[in-house]
Structure 1
Amino acid sequence: MTSAEKRSHVGRRSLLAAGAGMGVTAALPAASAQAAPAKAESAKAEPAKAVSASARRYPSNWPDPSSYGVADTRLDLWPRDDNSFVLPLELRPRDEERGVVWIRDTYVNCFVVDGRPLYVATGTTRVPGLAVAAPWNDGIFVWTAPSLKGPWRLADTTGIRPDAEKGKVWSPEFVDENRSGRTVVAPWQEYWYDTKYGKRGHAWAPEVHYFRGKWYIVACTGDYAQKVGSFLLVSEGGVEGPYRLAEGNLEKPFGDSFIGGPSFIEPGAYHHIDGGLFSEGDDAWLVLHNNLYAKFTDDMEDIVTPTGLPTFQQQPYSPEPYLEGAYVFKYGGKYYLVHAAWDRTSVNSDGTTRQAYDTAATGRVQYQYDAIVAVSDTFEGPYSQRWTAGVGAGHNNFFVDHSGGLWATFFLNPAAGYYSDSARVDGAAVPGVVRLEWTGPKGKRLYVERRNSA
């Protein structure tokens, strides 16, 4: 971590309660442009070559729990004041009273633009007057910065839509921009209404990517949409857009429909959510929730296998819970498959507390929304057994900054568990980043930076 990044911990006000020995401090606001991805495999992203791998000292792997699927809740794996901070994203009018952007599914990445770093941030946001991002929100916002510490500015969309809210790069509101041969909002993505929920429709969990000279956004419609599932937006300009919908999503989200989600969703309307993008060389893949992926076509307008999606080779828990936020990150020649999973507490037969990535059941209480990770030599797998990489850091992404530093995002889930408590909820749903540590080519693990890794 550079001295500049250390200074970025100082900010307006403390946002996250110290709770169980953990707190994070906020700071201040940044930029826009065009890019080439920062190389996680570059010399900057690896330890100094002058020191041999055998002589270099890496942090140690922690021993695995005695039972696979038990959660590691040690405070060293929490985002803390000494290893994390809340990004000072430029505030919109809706954010001013709170003093920080309300966001879920925080996504941050770093690209290199004309030899200079460009950082991007996005996530799931809510509209004024609603406590959550449902039953509707107003689309996708993007922020950019020249440095992780900022200044973070809303993407400059004023040249595209002078009268629209700055930074909003896509929304169901933009349906009027549809033209013959150019669809911005498909019919299934439009707002709609019913007698139970009123206005419905939204975008969730967006990711911004730069691939083969173009900007892309992968996102999904949520449970209150006409059709639920993942879609791809293609920019016809810079990171600010304008964006149009990929041809493979004109009629529906990616993949197959299946029975899933809340009971109020119409049969056949639920597709695979939490879409993300992984690229390597000239190839790109769509990564979907739980264990699915698909390769994109060469023109990036659809996926190669629209039905019968392939699956990652994983080592599931028993029982296997519902996982979210799947994300693949390559580092040190290995592939890291990241998931979000709820650590649920229950009572063992001897009266002690069990904390594990269990399925929902009577007596099991949601505690923390964690980041769990597995590693593989190949994208498809087979992947190792999973480990807890970050407590409360679920539904995130990993990235390398322009100095080669490793980071993960977090948002602190206010929907249930630890951060839903009235004493902490005001500090939840934030754009947080936390430093990661790598245990080297032998250990092959990524953890939230620990105070004691011995």
Structure 2
Amino acid sequence: MKKIWMITLWMACACGLSATEKPVMSRAEIEAGLKSHDRALYIKGGWIRDPYIILGPDDYFYLTGTTGNPNDPLEVADVYNTGLGKQSLVGYHMRLWRSRDLISWEDLGEPFNLLDGYWAKQQPEAFTGDRSRWHLWAPEVHYLNGKWHILHTTGGPIRHGSNLAVTQGDKIEGPFSFPLGELSKGLHDPSLFRDDDGTVYLLWRNTYIVPLNDEMTKFTAKPMRIDPSGSRMGPDGKAISVIGHEGATMHKIGDKYVHFGTAWSTDRRRKGSYNLYYCTADKISGPYGPRRFVGRFLGHGTPFQTRDGKWWCTAFFNANVPPLSREGIETRDLSKTAQTINPQGTTIVPLEVKIQSDGDIYIRARDPAYATPGPDEAQKNFEVMKEIL
């Protein structure tokens, strides 16, 4: 298998393609898929994890995510680098692209990196020497009150150096301010959510949540956990009552607060498929209903809407082996190791989002290869089973 993969890699390079740049779908295919909203679309190549897409105030879609440093040769030499361990490809820059149509992407460079952040200014001695293990993970960009807000988590020797960086105006560029200051320390996968009344909430660590003051300089309440109701049996025989372990985001759909979170299908690290789940509540503080399945292979994806109101979710390669064929994937047990059907790069998957007659929210991937929990799915409660049946 390894020999075949190396031959494939050599052929890709010989044909003038970056090994990370497997040919994406054609413009015609993507345009048709955006209209039909019924199948996954491979829209951009390049090594990326945790792809994040948002429609900005200037009517551009912005894309960022966990990436390697610009021109890192490892991106070509190690196509399916997991981003983990000593050989991680994850760099310390936030790379950024924008597009009018989700097809043609303009490279905006690296408008932020760890040296621009709060902690590099507060602890400069920690930001010297070898940068090979400086890791900027899961960046997000949010447009609030006429400014862009950049959040990310970190790994490696500066793992507590997460940032909330705010631009001076409506362009994603420095100089930056850091309103949270010391409060930004150690936030794993931070995200922001603005409620209908204008209150901005900070989410992190799947999932704590806290409201911020108008200046975003302090918490206005004590951080609290928001977890789904009920539980499922964990691998160690103990009940699990959390939505997942990372990638928490929040949306308001109808009158419901929809809390998204990520977990492996087996509830074992890097075993099975990397999936997205959700739960809903009438109040942002809860109580939340049971955890429900959104889609297989959608872990740490970003639910977002296109201009026509359709919902999509980003997806990416997160596995220990090269991507699997879609054929028969719905019934295939993936519990042996981390596996996916996503190619390296950014894929978007259509979501069915319904406000039901009782006001509850139903969310499920529309592409059949993503819509069905596999036999390795750990959650077997009634909420999942009634949707499968």
| SS class of match (2:132) | strand
Q: Which residue in 2 is equivalent to 1:336?
A: 258
Listed one character per residue, the Cα deviations across residues 294-344 of structure 1 (whole Å, up to 9, x for unaligned) are 112211234435xx5211142243432751101111112211111110012
Q: 2:105 aligns with which of 130, 152, 165?
A: 152
CA distance in 1, matches of 2:82, 2:271: 19
CA distance in 2, matches of 1:189, 1:370: 39
Write the letter of the residue equivalent to 2:101.
S
Corresponding position: 1:108 with 2:53: yes
Write the letter of the residue equivalent to 2:47.
W
CA distance in 1, matches of 2:321, 2:271: 6
CA distance in 1, matches of 2:125, 2:206: 23
TM-score (ref. length: structure 1): 0.60
Corresponding position: 1:314 with 2:232: no
CA distance in 2, matches of 1:189, 1:297: 31
Assess if the C-alpha contact under 8 Å between 2:40 and 2:367 holds in 1.
no
Q: Report the CA distance between 1:26 and its aligned residue.
A: 3.1
Q: 1:187 aligns with which of 117, 123, 128?
A: 123
Assess if the C-alpha contact under 8 Å between 2:146 and 2:170 holds in 1.
no
Shift in alpha-carbon separation, 1:426–1:326, aligned structure 2, 3 A: closer
Write the letter of the residue equivalent to 1:301.
T
Structure 2 gap ranges (5+): 1-15, 28-36, 75-80, 234-238, 325-333, 372-386
CA distance in 1, matches of 2:180, 2:125: 14
Listed one character per residue, the Cα deviations across residues 187-246 of structure 1 (whole Å, up to 9, x for unaligned) are 27954558xxx7332211011111111111111112x03242642110113333114241
Q: Which residue in 2 is equivalent to 1:273?
A: 188
Write the letter of the residue equivalent to 1:125.
T
| SS class of match (2:278) | strand
Assess if the C-alpha contact under 8 Å between 2:354 and 2:361 holds in 1.
yes
Q: Which residue in 1 is equivalent to 2:39?
A: 83
Q: 1:207 aligns with which of 140, 162, 168?
A: 140
Write the letter of the residue equivalent to 1:145.
S
CA distance in 2, matches of 1:173, 1:26: 36
Listed one character per residue, the Cα deviations across residues 26-45 of structure 1 (whole Å, up to 9, x for unaligned) are 346xxxxxxxxxxxxxxxxx
Which one has a larger percent helix, Structure 1 or Structure 2? Answer: 2
Number of matched pairs: 312
CA distance in 2, matches of 1:189, 1:384: 46
| SS class of match (1:225) | helix
| SS class of match (2:174) | strand
Corresponding position: 1:238 with 2:170: yes
Shift in alpha-carbon separation, 1:323–1:237, aligned structure 2, 3 A: same
Shift in alpha-carbon separation, 1:415–1:124, aligned structure 2, 3 A: farther
Assess if the C-alpha contact under 8 Å between 2:191 and 2:248 holds in 1.
yes
CA distance in 2, matches of 1:238, 1:300: 17
Assess if the C-alpha contact under 8 Å between 1:189 and 1:226 holds in 2.
no
Identical-pair percentage = 23
Write the letter of the residue equivalent to 1:248.
L
Structure 1 gap ranges (5+): 1-11, 17-23, 29-80, 89-99, 156-166, 176-181, 255-270, 345-357
Shift in alpha-carbon separation, 1:278–1:229, aligned structure 2, 3 A: farther
Write the letter of the residue equivalent to 2:220.
V
Q: Which residue in 2 is equivalent to 1:445?
A: 362
Write the letter of the residue equivalent to 2:51.
T
Shift in alpha-carbon separation, 1:191–1:86, aligned structure 2, 3 A: farther
Corresponding position: 1:219 with 2:219: no
Q: Report the CA distance between 1:129 and its aligned residue.
A: 3.5
CA distance in 1, matches of 2:277, 2:161: 23
| SS class of match (1:340) | strand
Mapping for residues 255-404 of structure 1, pairs under 5 Å: 271-280=186-195, 281-304=197-220, 309-315=223-229, 316-318=231-233, 319-320=239-240, 323-344=245-266, 358-359=267-268, 366-404=271-309
Q: Which residue in 1 is equivalent to 2:77?
A: none
Shift in alpha-carbon separation, 1:287–1:174, aligned structure 2, 3 A: closer
